[in-house]
Structures are given as C-alpha cells and as structure tokens.
Amino acid sequence: MRPRLEPLFFRSPQIRFAISVATCLVTAVMTKASSSPPAWLLQDASLPPMPAALHEQNQAEILRAEVTITISEQGEWREVQRYAVRVRHPGGEKYTRMGVGFVDKSDEIVAADAWLLPATGKRPTAYQRKDWANIAEMNSTTLYTDIRWLTHISTTSAVGDVYGGEVTVIRRHNSGQGQLTFGGELPLRRGRLAVQVPSGWRPDVFWLKGRTVEPRVSADGSVWTWELADVPAIRNELWAPRPFAPYYVALKIQPPSGTSTVIPRLETWADFAQWNERLIQPQCDTSAQIKETVARLTAGLTDPWAKLEALARFAQKQTYIQQYENSGIGFGYRPRLASDVLRAGYGDCKDKANLMEALLREAGFRSHIAIVLVGIGRSVQPDWPGQQFNHAITAIELPDGLTHSGEITHPVFGRLLFFDPTHPWVPLGELPWYEHGGLALIVSDRETRLTRLPDFTPEQTWGSDTRIDLTLLPSGALKGALIELDSGESAAEDRARAHLASPAAKRDYWVKRIARSLLGIQVADPVEEDKTDGRYQTHLEFSAREFGQFVQDKFLLVRLDLLTRNTVPVFPAKVRAQPLVIRPVYDAQEVWLPLPPGSAVTELPKASSLVSDYGRYSCEYTMVKDTLVFKRSLTLRAGTIPPEHYRALQTFLGEVAKAEATVVMIQLQGSSVTADHTATPAKVVTN
Amino acid sequence: MLLHFTLAPARLSFAVSFHRLMCRMVPFVVLIAWPIGNLSAAHRWEKIPAEQIGAKPETSEATEAGAEVLLAKHRLSFNDSGITNEDFHRTIVYDERAAESVGRIKITVNLPAVLNDCGARVTRADGTVREYEMKDFSRTKAVERGRGGAARSGFAVDDNDHAVLVSGVELYQLAITDLRPGDLVEYYHRIDEDMGARNGYAGQRLIQVQEPFPIRSLSFTIGSEVFRKNVGYETGLSWCNLPNATKEKDGGSQLVVRATNIPAYRRETDALPDQDIRAYIILRLASGNFSFSFENWKEFTNYLAGEARSLERPTSAMKKLAAQIVAGAGTSDEKLRRLYDYCQKNVTNYDYEDLPDGVHLSNAERRELTPTTALELHCGSATVITRIFVALARASGLDATLALTTRSNSMLRADRAAFGWEFMNEWVAAVQLDGKWHYYAPGMRWAPFGQLYWQDQGTAVLLVQNGKAVWAVRPVVTDTVNDVRARKGQFKLSEQGALTGTVTETLSGQYAMSWRLRNKVRKPANITAFVRAEVRREFASAELSHITIEDDRDNTHPVLLHYSLRVPDFATLAGGRIIFGHDVLNARATPRYTSAEPRLQPIRFQGGSTVHDRMEIELPEGYELEAGDAPQPVDYADKAGIKHAVVLVYVPAKNLIRSDSTLSIGLNGKIIFPAKSYAPLKAVFEQINKAQTHTLVLKPKPGHVSAPAVPAATPAPEIEQPEEVGNAPEA
C-alpha cells in the first residue's frame, strides 16, 4: 500500500506478517500547527482524478509513495518517506494515516509532519511530531521490543480530502539493507525509490516481486531513482504469495572495496554468511547451566541419535517468546546469548537455534545456525546475495555412523540434518512444511553458497491414514471406531492438541469433524499414541443417532466419506490474478460397513481415478464378503500455481469433489434395520 | 489473568459520553492535582496455607481448566491525591497445558498512572520458593503519546466522539517458563493513579473478574475514605453475575465484596450479551458536586424527569411543522408514521450517510447541533433526529417522551441496579398510546416505522411517567410477515449432476436493516464478494454470476438480490440414479449446534427470523422420482418458538420439483433459553438440518410419480420453557 522498509527481524512463521500499521488503532490528538502543506503535497492534491480503470471501486487512491535514502561517506542512512492519499469514497477515510518503523535508541526520528487538505477548500490542518503516536511492535509473544512504529492517523478526513505525511529518520542498523513494497489494495499514482550515495558507492536493487524497474541514474552516478506510475490495486486473493503487494524490492548499499564503514560490502553469499557469523557466533556462549543441562539430558544415553533427540526436544520445549533488545545491532539478526536464553527459558527462533547449537557443542556435536525464508509463496532469490531471510533453524553435522533419511550432503560440512527448534511439535528428522525444499544459508565463515533443504513427500509432510469400522444398528443408529495415523504436520497438530487441549476440547474437535456427516454424535475420549517413527495415532469410538437417509423403509442412502466430506479444497473463482500457493495433502481413508443381514447394495458406485499435474485421487467401493468397503486417497503436491494454470487445478479439484460425493443405495428389504420413527431426539444423553 | 482495573476503550466511551451529558447540568469541577509520592513499601508475602501447597482440583471445571486461582485480592485505597490499586493472585497449576499461560504475567498501566511495585513468587509442591522482584519484569512503553494538552487527563474525546487513550500504555511482563503441575504462582502489583489530574470525574469502572481459570476465592476492597472526605469524592461498589457475593464494611472505612467459586469464562455461540453472563465488580466514583448518589436511583430519576422533558420541548416552528405533517391523519398511529418518515427522509442522518450537498459541519458544530438547527440544515445525528421526532410528536398532542436505554445488544437481563444509571446512555423515543408505551427508533437510519433492530429488542428503558421514572422493556417481536428472507430459485438439473439457474432474494425487516447496516460503507465489489461468500459457505464450488442488487435505501422497500448460480457437483450419481437435495441453498448445511459438551450459558437467538425458500428444479429428461419421501415437519413453536415446514410438489407436466420450505425462529418472542435446554435445542436443529439436507432420488425411467409422501412426525423433544426477557421494574 505504501512504501515501508520491512525490518528483517527473525520472527516465528506464525506471526511473520502479523504486524501492520493498519492495526494501530490509537487515534492521534489533533493539534493545529502553523506549518503549511509542502509544495509536493499541494502538487499531488492538484493531480487530476485517476483513470477510472485504476480507481474504480477503491475507497482511496495513493497519490504518492516515496522513499528517498541518502547515504553519507560514514555510512549514515538518512531516509525521507513521503506519502499522500486521496479519499475517494465513504470508507476510504481509514487510509488517511501513515506509519514508519524504527528501532528505539538506535534510529533517530528527525522530523514527522502530516497535513490534511479538506476538499471543501477550508484551511488545511497541520499535524506536528507531537501528534504522532509511538507504538511498540508487539504481539502476544512479545515480552520486550525496541522495534516501534511512529504512527499518525487523521480522524477528521472526509471524501475528497487529501492527506499527506513526511517523516525523516536516520537509521543506524549497520546492515545497509532494506526491503520495500509498492502498491497493494489501493491503486498507486506514483511510487518512487531514490538513493543518493557517495562517489564510488552503488545501490544494488533486486525486484523480488513485480517486473524489474530500470533505474534512472544522475550524470555523476550519485543519485539512482526507480519510479512506478499508475499501479493498479490488487485483490487479496486466498493463498496468494506474500507480501501482498504488486511490487517488492530489496535494496543493499555497496560501498567500494576496502572502504571502512559501518555498512558491509556484501557481494557474494560467502560475504553474507561471514557477516552473519560475526554477528551470531559470539552469542553462542556456554555456562555452567548449559553444561549441567546437557549432562542431565544425555545421562545414560550412548546412542548419538538418542542424545540428539533429547537435546532437540529440550530446545523445542523452551517457550517461544520474543525479546528484542539492541535490535539496531545487526538489524535483528543477532540472537541473545545462549546462556541467557537457557536461564530465562524462552526465546525466539534465532535464540532457540543458537541455544541448540550451544547444547549440541557441549554434547560433542557440530552444528550451525541456518537462516531461511518462510511465508506463503516466498522463496530466496539465489542471484542476489543479501538479506532475504526471516527465520533461523539448526543444521546438525551428523557424526560418522549416524545416518538419517532426511540428511543432505554438503560439500563443506558433510552430511547435514536440519532441525527447527522453534516449531514445538515437529520432531527431529522432520521439518515444518513451509521449509521443505527451500534455500538456506548456513551461517559460517566457511559457507560460500545457498543450500537446498530436503524435500518430503506429501505423505510425509501432511499425511493421514484412517480406517473407520462402522456398525449399523437395527434402530438406524450407528456405532463406529476409527484409527487415524498421522504424519508430518498432521501429527504435529495432534501433538499440539494432545498437550494443549482439555479433554472436553479434544472431544469437541472430533465431534466437529464427524458432524459434517452424522447427526447426534457422541464420542469417547480419544486414545492417543505418539509413535517412535514420528507418526501419531488416535483411536476413537463414536456413535451417531442417525446415519444416512431412509427412503420409504426400502432403501438407505449413505455416504461413507465421514471424515473427508467437504474437505477437498475448492477454488470457485473463475479466474485468478495472482499465483496460488497450495500446501501438500495426503489423506487416505478406508471405511468398512458390514451390511445388515438380508440387505444389499443396489449398485456399487464406479471407481474413480484422477491424475493431474497437481496430484492424484482415487476412490473405490467393493464388497468384501458382506461388508461394503470404501477406499479413497487424495494426494496434492505443494507448489505455486501460476494464474494461467489455475483453471486446470480448479477442474481437477472439482472432479475430485464430485467423485467424493458418492451416495450408496442399500436395499433394506429383508433387513432388520428400519427407520426409527419413534426415536425422540431429546432423549439422547449428551453428558 | 489480571483484574482489569483499567478503562478499556469500549467502556471508556460509556464513561465519557455520560460524563459529557452530566457536564451539561452541573458545574464542571476543576481539582488541583497533587503529585503522588512514592508510597512504595516492600511487599510482604503471606504465608500460604498448608492445604494449598500441592492442592488437587476439587471440581471438574478446575480439572478441565488445568489451573485454578485459589485467591484473588484486589484493593483500591484512596489517598490525598488519587487511588492506589493493588492486585494479588495466587494460582495453582494442575496440568502442564496451563503452565505457559499461568507463567505469563502481564501488567498494563494506562498512563499517567504509575506502577510502583510488583513481584511474583513460585512455590513448588516440595516447598521450595523462588521470588521475582520488580526489576525482573520487562517494561515496554507499548503506546507513547506526545505532549498534547489532554495527555495529562488519561483520555480524551476524539473528533468522532470516541474516547481515546492519549497519554500512553506501559506493559510490565514476566515469563516464568519452568512451571510444573503442583506449582503455586503468586504475583502482586500496585498502581498509583493521580485522580486530581482528571479535573473532575464522574464515572463507573466495570471490572471484569472472570478469568480463563476458575477462581476459588475473590475479594475486592475499597479502602480509606480520606480522599472522599477531603476532596468530596463519592464511591460505590456493586457487582453482577456473582451469585454468592457478599458486601461488608470492614473496619468502618472499607467496603469489601467477597465471592467464591467463580467459574472460568468460556465463549459460546448464541450467548447473551457479556453484561448478562460475565462476572463484574462495578466501581462508581464521582466528585461530590455530581449531586446524586450512585446507590439510589431516586435522584437520578428526578434528574431524568426534568432533563428528558426539557430536551424535547417543541418550539413554535416545530408546532407549525408538526401540524403540516400530520394534517389529515386520522389516527395517532398514522400521525406517528408520518412524523417518523418525515424525520428519516427530510433530515439526513450523518451518523449513517454523508452530509447533504453544500452543508459542512465541524465536529464541534455537530456536537452542539440542536433539533431546530438540524431541521433548518436538514441533517442531524441519530440522537438529534430522535429528539426531533419526540418534539414533533409532542407538538402533535401525543404523549411522547425521551427514554434512556443502554447501548444496543447489552444487558438484556442484567441486574440494572448493580450497573447503575451511568450505563443508561442512549436516548430513544417512547410514545404512550392507549396506556401502553411504544418505542420508536427514527435515529436508526435503516429501521422502518414500527420496527426496532433486533439488538434493541428486549432491552430495558428508563422513562418518565407522571413525573416519575419507571423501568420498561422494549418488546421482542417476531414478525414472520415483515422480517423475512425470501429466496426464490429456478434451476435446471443436468444428467451429470450440475445445477444451473437463478436466485432472487428479498430481504425485508430485520434482514434489510442488517444488510444496509453491514454494507453502509462497503464498496460494491465487496458487497458482491459478500454475496458470493454467503452462498459458498454452504457450496464451496458454487459459481455465482450476474449479481445485481436493488436497494433504493428506502426503509419501506425491501432489498433485492439477483444472481445466477451454477453448482457443478450439486447432485451425486449412484449408478444410473441421480440423488440431489430439494432445499437447494441449504442442501449442504450443517446443524446450528454440533458440540456435545454441556452448555454453560443460556442460549439467545438474535431476535426472531423467518426464511422462506421456494426452489423449483427442472429434472433432466428421461428421469423420474425413484421414491417420494418428503422430510418431516419440525414444529416446536409452542415450546421453543421454532418451526420448519416443507412442502414438496412434483409437477409431472413440467417434470419439475417444487420445494417450499419455511423456517421460523423466535416465534412467540421465545429467544432466550436456559443452558439446560441446549441438548434438546440441538436435537431440534438437527431435525431441521435433516429436513434441509433431505435428498430425492431420480431413476432413468419415465413414468408418473405421485407427490412425495410425508412420514409420521417425530415426537417432540422436551424443551425448557424460555425465560422471561428483561427484569421486573425496579425503579
């Protein structure tokens, strides 16, 4: 929507895009000031209306989104952000606001001004620095942060008004890098990034999203300008790649070789790995508590894998809490001391990965922090060495004699097993699905390139194998028992529920899953087992007051997709403007229904087998002696589907959904099962 | 986790709006601010009773919650310059899953209040103890504001008349991460608040005492009366939804409320408003110059009697205007209708719509707008329009008055005496006809004459009758004629199971009001997206096109939606047969309630409603009905106010099935039920779901089939009689 430097602080994937200035609800106090609107804002306000195609139905239009960065010989980063917006329709008033992120006590806000130019022609209102709110970027996992937003909101704007703001900030985060988005849910008239550098310096820009924009360079090579005009708004489509903006650009400032400034020269991945190593390695300290902890956790264990598992489980159990102090150093890439993290018992991803490395070292294992990029549809651009990462995990060098199917071979570090200590429920040997196949940078001064993380099959990533045995009672009611064997993320979800949900909440979870297909459900407490191979098994017994639909007491219509009904992902929109990111799925089920004596299936439904570029589906109905058996399996591969291929995916999933909704007719003549017209629903005991 | 003795923004707006009201009638008191001294003294931990160390849960609820607050103490002490706010909690961890939550301690300080002390202590089951001091807490200035003039007062009113924090928020946090079952976690804090800086104050604080964990013992104390004596502040203390609470004087100058076994709060669907079910302590505080007592309604009602009458006094111009409007009207009802329509159509309601062309009003001008000026400018706020209506009605000789009520959808059944008069914060119009009060909402832009928003139905009003204020309850109305969502669909079913056709939806009454409210500021693309989403909630694969909306924003006209619908996988194929749902738009609905767990809170429907669906499905050629079952009717109108009926008609000549279904909820005003009615109500909605998802079978043989037969009805479930809506008059 507006340009903003995206801080590259490591965050948990759960909150990676949680913070937005749009969430800042605190309203500014209005104070009239004498300063007049600047010429650039008056010029923006006089712009003719945007072409209809661009502003149609949008409540506001962004007239200007501009960032001007000036780098001094000493490497000081001075940034001026300008923003202007016109309210076009009711509801657009909420866009008359501006926010700039900064690091407390490191960055310096030099000036902050805003103006509201009423459409009525009345005198503009000016807002000064003291009218801006200074808000900590926090969420429920933040214990402390020095990352803040300077925010201003005009609450008096009306349709036709133009609002603008200008903030000058000096950044001292010593990385010389930043990322910026242009456009979004509102159309953008003019976007501009300008960078002024000393002689011999060079801004290196990479367009991570959107078409590459060529710079305009001043004659002396000191001012580089990238400009965008009339950028249409985009729709926030479900599962579209992030960030939600048509243009996303990364910037790094390259000082000349041999220059001694706070800004590092990062030309290769080796440069970047070394820069990170210098930041991170001093934090991987040891302490008596670390030694004692490792000794306690590994006591009596001789098997290296058992030791690794014990340490991994311990690191995972440390609470995920963000404590951002001195974020200006390394711009959020530097973890807290491992000894501090262990003493407190909490940390964020880089803290936990760093602690894991300290624990492993104490136990005699070699490991490294690996930095990765997570987020829907996001991937590291290998051709642009620089800050593209937002998460930290651990790369463990496997000792001789220890092998694992998830290991990869690295030319420098040998056989590596990656592990994410931030995810509390994905065990050692696996990775959260959003890291599969991604590019990681191992933080070591010996690293020279990116490393591809291992990929896993859908069965391993998000797998679920279920068998359900049903018993149809003479009253038409149903009893059932299911055994579900989950793997990957499905197993992780099971573990989380097992540890965090109350018994009632667990029962409710199962009732809601089954309630899509049965009425009057009761479930017993599930019996669960976390298996040693990483899978998670649940055994559940349940009953339902009614099953299927009786047709004049002659037929019973039943559907056997008890757990999968309406779970096939469906994308009904005819066209799609942005790529679609799909997550992997593997869901196999068998349902066994012994037919009551004397009854028979009128006609077995035809088997289906569908194969596409995105996955495969099969289902079949068979009779095994007197038992009707339904088997189905759906596999979807993870991937990013371009808009032009969207229709093919939609067709495939539509056919799956249709095949899934199969009804079986059971002829009841001669059977003891009848519709229970005398059943009184109120008599069902629910306690 | 904490007692929230802070003014949450939503509550703040209550306090501020009434504060503003009060300012009109009493001199505004300016107090001198005294600096708060450092009152800090080292906290002394109490000895933990032996039986609490390693205690086990005594209730199933405590077991379910995984932790229990054994002791919660809150104390407010008044000193020469303000309030000292002390909080103490002792919580025991029963289950590992509650450990992280219990171990996160967060203290929110709304500036300019100051946290002067805090600490925590963990006592393990084996008796070992670990203490945390104030320096161990992380301090973050979550919101920091500038040096604006209002900053000192803690809150201000913004240009939209909403209260906003202006001076900032500080957070003090502690994370204790190694808690185990059996651990006792205690914490305390003391916050000092400079009341002198508020420049006079009248307000209530609604302190929510329910937590995610049950509380075994709670005390809430108002301490020293020094401040009250010296500065003239009055205090009051009451509570609601704490059934076993007691209040006592302790030591002559302290008021203490004690309560035990307060259940944990769990959010449930179709619940009553918070004030009706959640436990609150209500603290009242006012300068002595605000003359009436908080415990006694008499003084307030005297004020109301005078205020309500003066606000709506008609001018001579209004009398002239009223005479023009009602000229020729034969009945009082007709007069009221004309006045109502005049107010809504000739005075633009700027709470809902843009100002008329050429009219510009500053926020200050809006606040001061009188009915007379509003009539001249043809625009006004909801409140001003209500006042105009009452004034015109009085000018027409009708017994009309302003009445006070609570904000929409609040306090349906709450103990109003406990909440006090400050929560009566909105004016509504009441007219007495034939000895009975009728209520009107001309200020509600989308409420047609004679109708109230469902959120306002059943809420209490305080009005003046014969010089005395009396309580009344606005009626709950289930109008199955006017409050209707009617959907008509004409479809064609293909041999492949795809359904294609058009739908026309007519929204009237409550449905139209909700639609217009919801889409007030939505852009057209979002409205059509909303229509799509509504249909796709049931049919994920539905393709909607040609969506048109007819809404002339006239309250007397319905909202009309038209769209084309295609559901590629609507019917399922079983061998040569086609199986499909008759109630197209509900064919894949899930029951309203699914949870089989016991319900904690009463159930409350959002007013009465009727949905009528007429679906015509042209069958594929060469197919006929295999069997003609129709769903059973579901009729619990008497016991539960719920009725669902389906008429299925097969028209052989046109080879189509016509399905007429009607679902009414809230019949006979029955919208609130005790929690124990959950299971039977769930069963009723499952019966309705069964009828809605009932399927028909087609087989590929031409021939005549009679209309579907209706099987015998299922016996009625036992349902508790609904509770009365509202309380008996109290004033």
Rounded mean pLDDT, A154-163: 87
Nearest CA in chain B to A143: B173
Instruction: Report the pLDDT averaged over residues B678-687.
Output: 95
Question: Considering only residues 135 to 154 of chain A, which have any Cβ-Cβ distance to chain B shorter than 8 Å?
Answer: 135-136, 138, 142-145
pLDDT for B488: 97
Q: What is the mean pLDDT of residues A244-248?
A: 94
Confirm if B450 and B577 have CB atoms less than 8 A apart.
no
Residue A24's pLDDT band, with cuts at 50, 70 and 90, is very low
Residue among B300, B461, B318 nearest B387 (CA): B318
| Tokens found for residue B160 | 């939209």
The pLDDT tens digits of the residues spanning B482-534 come to 789 999 999 999 998 999 999 999 999 889 998 988 887 666 777 888 888 88
Task: Identify from A551, A664, A676 which residue to disrupt to test chain B contact, counting B C-beta atoms within 10 A and taking the largest count.
Answer: A551
pLDDT digits (tens, 9 = 90+) for A547-562: 988 887 788 999 999 9
Three-state secondary structure call for residue B317? helix
Mutation target to probe the A interface, by most A beta carbons within 10 A, among B122, B166, B177, B719 is: B177
Q: What is the mean pLDDT of chain A?
A: 88
- How many contacts (CB atoms, under 8 Å) link A and B? 229
* pLDDT at residue B471, as a whole number: 81
Q: Tell me whether A296 touches chain B (CB under 8 Å).
A: no
Q: What is the mean pLDDT of residues A324-341?
A: 88
Which among A58, A133, A603 has the least Cβ separation from residue B145?
Answer: A133
**What is the C-alpha separation between A190 and A197, in angstroms, rounded?**
23
The answer, for A575 touching chain B at a CB cutoff of 8 Å, is no
Beta carbons of A589 and A614 less than 8 angstroms apart: no
Q: Which stretch of A369-383, B278-292, B325-339 has the lowest confidence by average pLDDT? A: B278-292
Closest-CA distance, A169 to chain B, in angstroms, reads: 18
Please give the average per-residue pLDDT across A462-487, as a whole number.
95
Taking only residues 598 to 657 of chain A, the set having a beta carbon closer than 8 angstroms to any beta carbon of chain B reads 602-605, 654, 657
CB contact under 8 A, A136 and B142: yes
The pLDDT score that the predictor gives to residue A418 is: 98
Cross-chain Cβ contact B354/A523 below 8 Å: no
Taking contacts as CB-CB distances below 8 angstroms, the residues of chain B near A678 are 715
Cβ within 8 Å, pair A503-B711: no
Q: Residue A658: its pLDDT value, please?
A: 83
What's residue A680's pLDDT? 36
Give residue-wise pLDDT tens across range B630-641.
888 999 999 999
Which of A120, A515, A680 comes nearest B591 by C-beta?
A515
Contact list, B520 vs chain A (CB under 8 Å)? 90
Residue of chain B whose Cα is closest to the Cα of A686: B596
Closest CA to B477 of B327, B239, B664, B242: B664
pLDDT higher than threshold 50 for residue A522: yes
pLDDT digits (tens, 9 = 90+) for A276-332: 999 999 999 999 999 999 999 999 999 999 999 999 999 999 999 999 988 888 777
Q: Copy the structure tokens of residue A627.
A: 């038992």
- Examine the pLDDT at B728 and tell me if it is beyond 70: no
Q: Which of residues 334-353 of A touch B (CB under 8 A)?
A: 344-346
Whether B724 has a pLDDT exceeding 70, the answer reads no
| Inter-chain touch A681–B686, beta carbons under 8 Å | yes
Over residues A59-114, the pLDDT tens digits come to 899 999 999 999 999 889 999 999 999 998 877 888 999 999 999 988 999 999 99
**Which letter, b or e, does each residue of A315-333 get, where b requires 16 or more Cβ atoms within 10 Å of its Cβ?**
bbebbbbbbbeebbbbbbb
B686 and A520 within 8 Å at the Cβ level: the answer is yes
Residue B232: CA count within 13 A, CB half-sphere: 14
Task: State the best of A557, A576, A666 to mutate against chain B, taking most chain B CBs within 10 Å.
Answer: A557
Q: What's the confidence (pLDDT) of residue A293? A: 98
- Name the band, by pLDDT with cuts 50, 70 and 90, for residue A603: confident
Residue A135's pLDDT band, with cuts at 50, 70 and 90, is confident
Q: Does A32 touch chain B (CB under 8 A)?
A: no
Q: Which pLDDT band holds residue B1 (cuts at 50, 70, 90)?
A: very low
Note the pLDDT of residue B49: 94
CA B233 vs CA B154, B227, B229: distances in Å: 19, 7, 7
Q: Is A270 on the interface with B (CB under 8 A)?
A: no
* Residue A38 in contact with partner chain B when CB distance is under 8 A: no
| CA angle (A190 as vertex; A167, B524 as ends), nearest 5 | 105
Across the interface, do A59 and B694 touch by the CB < 8 Å criterion? no
Is the CA virtual torsion A54, A55, A60, A63 positive or negative? positive
Report which of residues B423 and A119 the model is more confident about.
A119
CB contact under 8 A, B714 and A504: no
Separation in Å, CA of B532 to nearest CA in chain A: 10
Q: What is the mean pLDDT of residues A254-265?
A: 86
- What is the rounded average pLDDT of the residues B73-94? 87
Q: Which of B106, B145, B159, B690 to mutate to test the interface with A (most CBs of A within 10 A)?
A: B145
Among A227-231, B320-324, B525-529, where is mean pLDDT lowest? Answer: B525-529
For residue B30, is pLDDT > 50?
Answer: no
The C-alpha R_g of chain B, in whole angstroms, comes to: 30
What would the pLDDT profile of B374-426 be if each residue is shown by its tens digit?
999 999 999 999 999 999 999 999 999 888 887 666 666 666 666 766 677 78
The nearest CA of chain B is from the CA of A31 a distance in Å of 8
Q: What's the pLDDT at B422? A: 65
Beta bridge partners of A336: none
Question: What digits encode the pLDDT tens for the residues B100-121?
Answer: 999 999 999 887 789 999 999 9
Q: Find, among B682, B616, B609, the residue nearest to A521 by Cα.
A: B682
Comparing A43-47, B133-137, B354-358, the range with the smallest average pLDDT is B354-358
Residues of B in contact with A143 (CB under 8 A): 138, 173, 175
Measured CA to CA, the distance from residue A593 to residue A613 in angstroms comes to 33
User: Which residues of chain B does A57 touch, with a Cβ-Cβ cutoff of 8 Å?
Assistant: 523-525
Beta-strand runs (E) in B619-694? 624-627, 634-636, 642-651, 656-665, 672-673
Q: Does A515 touch chain B (CB under 8 A)?
A: yes
The verdict on A550 touching B (C-beta cutoff 8 Å) is: yes
CB contact under 8 A, A654 and B694: no
- Please tell me the predicted confidence (pLDDT) of residue B506: 96
Of the candidates A131, A144, A680, the beta carbon closest to that of B715 is on A680
3-class SS of residue B441: coil
Does A508 contact B100 at a Cβ distance shorter than 8 Å? no
Distance between CA atoms of B15 and B21, rounded to whole angstroms? 10
- Per-residue pLDDT at A414 exceeds 70: yes
Which range, A662-666, B300-304, B402-406, B469-473, is most confident? A662-666
pLDDT at A506 over 80: yes
pLDDT at B635: 95
How much is the average pLDDT of A378-400? Answer: 95
Q: Which parts of B209-253 are beta strand (E)?
A: 215-222, 233-240, 246-250
Tokens, residue A401: 């004699």
> Considering chain B, what is the average pLDDT of its residues?
79
Chain A nearest-CA residue for B178: A345
pLDDT of residue A310: 98
Tell me the mean pLDDT in the region A51-58. Answer: 65
